[in-house]
Structure 1
Amino acid sequence: MVATTYFNRDLSWLKFNERILMEAERNAVPLLERIKFLSIFSSNLDEFYRVRMPVLLAFEKLSNREDNDIKIQDDLLKSANDLISAQQQRYGKALTQDIIPDLKNHHIHLIYGAAYPEAIQKTVTQYFLSQVLAFLQPVILTEQTSFFPSNNKLYFIVSLRTNGESKTVVLNIPSDELPRFYRVDQDGETFVVFVDDIIRYHLDRIFPGQEVTGCYSFKITRDAEIDLKDEYSGSLSEQLEKQLLKRDLGLATRFLHQPNIPDDVMALVKKVFNLKKANSIEGGQYHNLKDLMSFPVKSDQLSQPSWAKICNTSFIDGTLNEAIYKQDIVVHTPYQSYDSILRFFAEAAIDHTVEEIYVTLYRVASDSKIVNALMSAAKNGKKVTVLVELKARFDEENNIKWAKKMKASGVNIIYSVTALKVHAKVALVKRKLEGRMHYAGLFATGNFNESTAAFYTDHILMTADKEMLREVELLFIFLAKRIKPGPGHFIEFKHLLVAQFNLQDRFLQLIDREIEQAKLGKEAAITIKMNNLEEKVLISKLYEASQAGVKIELIVRSICRLVAGVPGMSENIKIIRIVDRYLEHGRVFVFHNQGNPDVFLGSADWMNRNIYRRIEVCFPIKDQKIMQEILDIINIQKQDNVQAVTIDAEMNNVPVKNNEKKVASQQAIYEYLKA
């Protein structure tokens, strides 16, 4: 028996990021794809330091107070730091000992930790003088300096000596203003140089007549604004909020720096930049390796073969709307083209029979064709109502920009209430035909965002099911009131599962039904696919189901607090995690129901925030053909023995090993849908 009933959510997330790293380490993965996985790992880790590390630091402080009964897992902070440190070591090894030598075998030279070859020095110097120099802003560092390093931006600490006097300068690395990498092709060889090194090797031109005695790269990661009510409840949330409010705006949570900075320089930097509470971590010479996503080499030979998008609405002769009235249609992105969804909104914008359009927007594409269609619809005289979630973390600015544009175009904008995010992905179009109102709509597991649809696996249902769509209309009427659900504000949803109303209760009832079947000696099974599994009430109910004999198969991409395979607790539960070329994002819920399965799709993970502090919508699949398609896709994923790992009782990612035919599920799903 393991020592815990629930894994820690933050350690579980770090183990997910380790799964990303495993793809970068695999020789079977094409070389340029391995570089992308290194980039994703780095980006994820930066977000962890911005979003989660401030909470862990606050927990640690509260837990150590004698007057507080809040306790956290022993050595949680140390465990997180140890995990990160071990992963960083693996990262460095994969990059320097595997990937860079492999690139060299293909005549691609990523100059890393060494001077660039003499053959390209003249070209690089010309680039420095004409492009890089104009962006440099050296700042002399003293105890009186008021310079504030920006979050996750790159800098050098440069030690100088002039006429026997020493001084310290902070020098920016303009990796946002310029490409991080500069490429030079010469004599059949490709050289890729960090902009960091272009600056480093021209310090004599930046500081003429001064001796450079040291140059050390660094970056500071600052905490992101955290809505702790989104994660914790009651007094715990309040105490954490108070703890974090004691800190300066944008507290530094990580000071990542090159080794061997002299002690006196380090002391000055920490004092001036207020780094006393930050994790001070020695890293390599280069930071922000998420920039590897823009590695300036393209090669079909060294990349995954591209898959042409499947258009599953090409059979439609008339309008998409007419086809939806005849039968439900499902789109599985990114295997199938997102053009069908764009077409849905574009047709609605110009259709003279359309009177009203309603849609929720959580993360909007930076150049959104959907939003442009909604603005056109409003200008064409239709009543357009859009709920824009302004609290979508890291997308706040983009969402505000689009909300202002839509409002100026005549769109009616609704914002969610302060303590409640609207994470549902639904749309409704109302048409008036021959004096009667007709409904058509979309239900999705992912955002209405054509950019992320290119690499997120999601499911979008197009339907004219009036029962479901009338409930969507009721939901929009409620949301327009801008009040939190509570006594006197309840809507009875019979078909949709809506968080804050009936979602958790319905899922518990569906699990209970399987438990009753198992107790009667009948076949009982549950299959669930989601991004994150954290909420204890639902996890406990799955444990209860396992103990009753229900066979439970989970596909959980990221955070997973459930501990599987423990005798007497969860021996009938199996968990796999799939990481491949696309980001697994769809949520699917399948309940056996004596061989007549109930299948739901939706926006809701089983996390505290989704269950208790968001508006989420899960929806039933009624069309038997579509239901079978969903079941086939899920069954393919359950057979994956190439890209899947199991999550064992120690939280490790264990590759699936069996003697069955090799199945890489994303490839198999693409072939299935193409056929």
Structure 2
Amino acid sequence: MSSPIFFDRDLSWLLFNERVLLEAGRSDLPLLERFRFLAIYSSNLDEFYRVRMPAVLALQRVAKKKKAPELFKKITDTISRQQEFFGQLLNEQLLPALDSRGYTLLYHQSIPAELAAAVQQYFYNDVAGLLRPVSLSDKKDFFPENNQLYLSVVAEDREKNEQHYLVNIPSETLPRFYKIKNKEIVFIIFLEDIIRYCLPSVFPGMNIISSSNIKITRDAELDLEDEYGEDMAEKLEKLLSKRDKGLATRVLYEPGISLRHLQQLISRFGLQAAAVVEGGRHHHLRDLAKLPVGGAGWEYEVWPAANTVLPEKTLLQSIEQQDILVNPPYESYETVLRFFNEAVIDPEVQEIYTTLYRVASDSRICQALISAAMNGKKVTVLVELKARFDEANNIRWAKRMKEAGVRILYSSNALKVHAKVALIKRLHPEKPLLGLLATGNLNEQTARFYTDHILLTSRQYLLEELNTLFEWLSKKKKPDPSDAPLFNHLLVAPFNLQQRFIALIDREIEAAKNDRPSGVLIKLNNLEEEVMINKLYEASQAGVEVRLVIRGICRLVPGVAGVSEGITVRRVVDRYLEHGRIFIFHNAGSPEVFMGSADWMNRNIYRRIEVCFPVEDAKAKETIQQLAEWQWADNSRGVQLNDQLQQQPVAGDAIVRAQEQSWLWLSGKQQ
């Protein structure tokens, strides 16, 4: 191989989002679920503009070569093509299907005259008191809120003087949609269209010349000093208040706005560096997930979560005897909550340690940790304050726990803690350590629609190393190779995770070179880091069969002769978000199975505390291998990536839908 080849990470991610969009085009899905896939696509794209577009725009500004402008054009062309398809799906398929069920969403349509009285009544009763019109000629300190909806309104006073205003759309306070039944039809109206309809009441005595929907998206990154200081929460709170004044990355406008008035907005708020994008009449279409419709046949059939543990003993006693594997959302998350709840009241439990990355807004886990501290137990929690878009919620819980006596630790800016682990220590030395090792956040809300894997274990050689990690984190030390903790069983970034995975792949390479069976099956959310990709290329060239299930970003180029012809990449998009990371190595017919929190991205390998762990219980190992094989074989919701960054159907005689098969098997409905 003359030089490594890689897909661009942003184009790769946009392809994943396109796969989400394609689910909305499936006529066999319930109608409301199709609208929800449109909403997920729209929400993902908003995040792309907040998180990734700042880097793309910066590269565009400083690059002297053609590569950056060409990449920027590819990105914007890709988004434009997807947006066009989005509009076709909505206008040609989903809205007519909604009409056929007696619901009319007024999309690019005027409000009918027969609804005027009801619309005006709702406006005066509920909407008017939340409006705050601002004149662009007013020089007071005002800036449009980040990623919020506004109407750009141009009006003339009695002297024919033109005035330009921004009017907020209070969709964070009121429902985005208002529903009115008229005869046999239920009309659904966008909140901004109600405000637009009633603008003469907002600007009495003025002539409304034009009104256009506007949304400004800003950079979501927060720049913290690299320190562990106890006042980090306070510093972060100040930065959060400034996030909405970060670099503008996109100005999204409604077609038909005059160029002069658009330039007035750009000039008034200093948006010259942003991408100026023509959207549809309505923005913020992530709210399509909240359409006020429903009933039998509108949504997926319910897949009840199976109970994983119904012990006569306590859960903690059961973990002493055997590993317990929980696979939400197919299996109940109550088992995880019970792990913490039993620790609260068990008199043998002396200390509890855990990491929290993204917690539920009403987290029962945090409430249990508070109770444990108030019950006199030593509770230590490492809260990751810089979990993007969850910072405020994490700060709130950190303060509440700290007030209750929980010892709160914060990570450094240079090293986030992304591991999903917990450790219980008990009073008597003969009582073993108990632990939780997981692929996903300790969050009972996201556990309802993220597929993850949680191992509850009393394997002391794993938990003693986990204790070593917590001791190291408690010292608030920066990584130092000369003072690195020792891990022989756990794979912990940035200490030994990359080296151990490389060694595991090297073993498969050695087997292939000696004409022995070999193989790798890896399931990740994202694959970006070049050292690991190059190692997979090396494995392919040695004859190792490399099977990858990558949900999102994939920079590895599969199927290239002499480079990666032994590598196949697939992805699955279905009713649940695939989130679990699984690593399976052939190992001469005695597979080694690992799971954990780490994707193979630069940030996960070099700049985060991540924990991956071996799965050694025979039943748990069999379960994870089976779930991974179904993911690989999915030809219902799965696609395969080719060397041109295109998604193609997965071949197979019998239809395999991995998520349905997993639920049927784990719930005992199918052996």
Q: Structures share a fold, TM > 0.5? A: yes
Matches within 5 A, 1:333-348: 333-348=328-343
Q: Distance in 2 between matches of 1:395 and 1:248?
A: 15
In structure 2, how many angstroms separate the alpha carbons of the residues matched to 1:300 and 1:651? Answer: 39
Note the C-alpha offset of 1:636.
Answer: 1.2
Q: Which residue of 1 aligns with 2:619?
A: 625
Alignment partner for residue 458 of structure 1, among 435, 447, 452? 452
The corresponding residue for 1:35 is 35
Q: Distance in 1 between matches of 2:454 and 2:573?
A: 21
Picking from 342, 354, 361, the partner of 1:359 is 354
Distance (whole Å) between structure 2 residues aligned to residue 190 and residue 262 of structure 1: 34
> CA offsets per residue over residues 390-434 of structure 1, 9 Å max, x none?
11111111111111111110111111123100100110011134x
Partner of 1:58: 58
The 3-state SS of whatever aligns with 2:470 is helix
SS in 2 for 1:616: strand
Residue number in structure 1 paired with 2:256: 260
Partner of 1:487: 481
> Cα distance, 1:596 vs. partner?
0.2
Which of these residues, 385, 401, 406, is aligned with residue 406 of structure 1? 401
**2:429 equivalent to 1:424:** no
Cα deviation code 1:608-654 (max 9, x no counterpart): 00000011000000101110011111111111111001111111121
When residues 23 and 592 of structure 1 are mapped into structure 2, their CA distance, relative to the original with a 3 A threshold, is same
Q: Which residue of 2 aligns with 1:637?
A: 631
SS across alignment from 2:212: strand
Instruction: Report the alpha carbon displacement of residue 226 of structure 1 after superposing the two structures with TM.
Output: 5.2
Whether the aligned pair in 2 keeps the contact of 1:2 and 1:649 (CA below 8 Å) is: no
**1:223 partner letter:** D
Q: Does 1:572 align with 2:563?
A: no
Query: Residue in 2 aligned with 1:377?
Result: 372
2:509 corresponds, among 515, 536, 552, to 515
Asked whether the equivalents of residues 602 and 619 of structure 1 are also in contact (C-alpha less than 8 Å), the reply is yes
Per-residue CA deviations over 1:292-343 (Å, capped at 9, x if unaligned) read 12111122312111111111112x1120001111110000011111000000
Rounded to whole Å, the distance in 1 between the matches of 2:627 and 2:245 is 46
| Residue of structure 2 equivalent to 1:241 | none
Does the 8 A contact of 1:146 with 1:272 survive in 2? Answer: no
Q: Please give the alpha-carbon distance, in whole angstroms, between the structure 2 residues aligned to 1:150 and 1:249.
A: 8
Cα deviation 1:518-543 (Å, max 9, x = unaligned)? 01111100000010000000100000
Q: Which segment is superposed worse, 154-163 or 327-336?
A: 154-163
Residue 187 of structure 1 and its aligned partner are, at CA, apart by 3.2
Would you say the 8 A contact 1:107–1:189 is kept in 2?
A: yes
Q: Alpha-carbon deviation of 1:549?
A: 0.5
Aligned equivalents of 2:513, 2:224: Cα separation in 1: 40
1:121 aligned to which of 106, 116, 120: 116
Q: CA deviation at 1:262?
A: 2.1
Out of 414, 437, 442, the residue aligned to residue 448 of structure 1 is 442
Task: Letter of the 1:530 partner, please give it.
Answer: L
Q: For 1:513-552, what aligned pairs fall within 5 Å after superposition? A: 513-552=507-546
Give the partner amino acid of 1:52.
R
Query: For the Cα contact (< 8 Å) 1:21–1:37, is it kept in 2?
Result: yes
Please tell me whether the aligned partners of residues 633 and 669 of structure 1 are also in contact (alpha carbons under 8 angstroms). yes
Query: Which runs of structure 2 are paired with 1:324-335 in the superposition (5 Å)?
Result: 324-335=319-330
1:7 aligns to 2:1 (yes or no): no
Partner of 1:295: 291
Q: Does 1:395 align with 2:395?
A: no
Q: Write the mapping of 1:37-186 to structure 2, written as runs, cut at 5 A.
A: 37-64=37-64, 72=67, 75-142=70-137, 144=139, 146-163=141-158, 164-186=160-182
Judge conservation of contact 1:551–1:572 (CA < 8 Å) in 2.
yes
- Are 1:599 and 2:593 an aligned pair? yes
**Amino acid across the alignment from 2:666:** L
2:665 aligned with 1:672: yes
| 1:192 pairs with one of 188, 192, 199 | 188
Taking a change above 3 Å as real, the CA distance of residues 354 and 655 of structure 1, as seen in their structure-2 partners, is same
* Structure 2: distance between partners of 1:101 and 1:274: 41
Going from structure 1 to structure 2, the CA distance change for 1:97 and 1:341 (only over 3 Å counts) comes to same
Shift of 1:114: 1.1
CA distance in 1, matches of 2:118, 2:301: 33
Instruction: Provide the secondary structure at the position in 1 that maps to 2:452.
Output: strand
Q: CA deviation at 1:147?
A: 2.5
More divergent stretch after superposition (632-641 vs 591-600) = 632-641
The one-letter code matched in structure 2 to 1:32 is L
Unaligned runs of 5+ in 1: 66-70, 231-246
Secondary structure in 2 matching 1:661 = coil
| Cα drift, residue 209 of structure 1 | 1.9
Residue 498 of structure 2 is aligned to residue 498 of structure 1: no
Question: What is residue 233 of structure 1 aligned with on the other side?
Answer: none
SS in 1 for 2:249: strand
| Alpha-carbon displacement from aligned partner over 1:429-472 (angstroms, at most 9, x marks no partner) | 11134x53421110000010001101000000000111100101
Equivalent in the alignment of 2:240? none
- The CA deviation at 1:595 is 0.6
Letter in 1 for 2:552: S
- Equivalent pair of 1:589/1:600 in contact (CA under 8 Å): yes
Q: Is the 8 A contact 1:2 1:566 kept in 2?
A: no
Does the aligned pair in 1 maintain the 2:597–2:611 contact within 8 Å? yes
CA distance in 2, matches of 1:177, 1:477: 44
Change (3 A) 1:2 1:116: farther
Q: How much has 1:186 moved relative to structure 2?
A: 3.8
Gaps of 5+ in 2: 227-242
* Counterpart secondary structure, 1:341: helix
Question: How far apart are the structure 2 equivalents of 1:518 and 1:342?
Answer: 44
2:468 is equivalent to residue 474 of structure 1: yes
Which deviates the most, 407-416 or 601-610?
Answer: 407-416
Q: 1:609 aligns with which of 603, 611, 617?
A: 603
Match of 2:238 in 1: none
Seen in structure 2, the aligned counterparts of structure 1 residues 599 and 227 have a Cα distance that, compared at 3 Å, is farther
Distance 1:562 1:73, change over 3 A: farther
Counterparts of 1:26 and 1:4 in 2: how far apart (Å)? 37
Which amino acid counterpart does residue 216 of structure 2 have in structure 1? I
- Cα deviations by residue, 1:582-617 (Å, 9 ceiling, x for unpaired): 000000000000110000000000000000001100
Shift in CA distance, 110/249, structure 1 to aligned 2, threshold 3 Å:
closer
Identical-residue share of aligned pairs (%): 51
Q: State the partner residue of 2:18.
A: 18
Give TM-score scaled by structure 1 length.
Answer: 0.94
Contact residue 142 and residue 268 of structure 1 kept, 8 A: no
**Partner deviation per Cα, 1:641-669 (whole Å, 9 max, x = no partner):** 110011111111212244x1111110111
Runs of 4+ in 1 over 4 A off after TM superposition: 1-4, 71-74, 226-230
- 1:143/1:268 contact within 8 Å kept: no
The residue type equivalent to 2:375 in the other structure is N
Check conservation: 1:468, 1:495, Cα contact below 8 A.
yes
Does the CA contact (< 8 Å) of 1:143 and 1:272 recur in 2?
Answer: no
TM-score using structure 2 length: 0.94
| Partners of 1:50 and 1:221 within 8 A in 2 | yes
CA distance in 2, matches of 1:105, 1:209: 41
SS in 2 for 1:112: coil
Asked whether the 8 Å contact 1:59–1:72 carries over to 2, the reply is no
2:305–2:667 contact (8 Å) kept in structure 1: no
Partners of 1:29 and 1:465 in 2: CA distance:
44
Alignment match of 2:207 (pick from 208, 211, 219): 211
Question: Aligned Cα RMSD in Å?
Answer: 1.9
